[in-house]
Amino acid sequence: MTSEHGPGYLVPVERIEGSILSIRGERVMLDADLAAVYGVTTKVLNQAVKRNRDRFPAGFIFQLTVDEYAALRSQFVTSNEMPGRGGRRHLPFAFTEHGAANS
């Protein structure tokens, strides 16, 4: 996957560290945060993952459950997403350290 910023683009460590969460006992980054690091949309990142599913074994990526996503939303006090008003249509994917490195 190529970034809009080019191959030599550096991301500040603080930006990445602030996006790392602990879910299911794993340190992960959500698809939207990882997409931002690469300078692409979440949709583009997830499409690339689907096209290259063999590069992402079960230990590299998993999809959050409804309960996990609800807990995250309440933790960060995000507003409810209204149908037809944008926002996510699918539960987010969480990338482990290995999964993030492979994307």
**How do residues 57-87 score in pLDDT, each as one tens digit?**
778 899 999 999 999 888 876 555 544 455 6
6 inside domain: no
95 inside domain: yes
Residue-number span of the structural domain to which 30 is assigned: 13-77+90-102
Q: State how many domains the chain has.
A: 1
Kindly state the average pLDDT of the residues 19-30. 92
Residue 2 pLDDT: 46
pTM of the model: 0.73
Query: What average pLDDT does the structure give for the chain?
Result: 79
7 inside domain: no
31 inside domain: yes
64 inside domain: yes
Has residue 94 got a pLDDT over 80? yes
96 inside domain: yes
CA distance 33 to 42: 8
72 inside domain: yes
Has residue 53 got a pLDDT over 50? yes
DSSP H helices in 1-103: 13-17, 31-38, 42-51, 66-75, 97-102
- Higher model confidence: residue 21 or residue 101? 21
62 inside domain: yes
Residue 79 pLDDT: 53
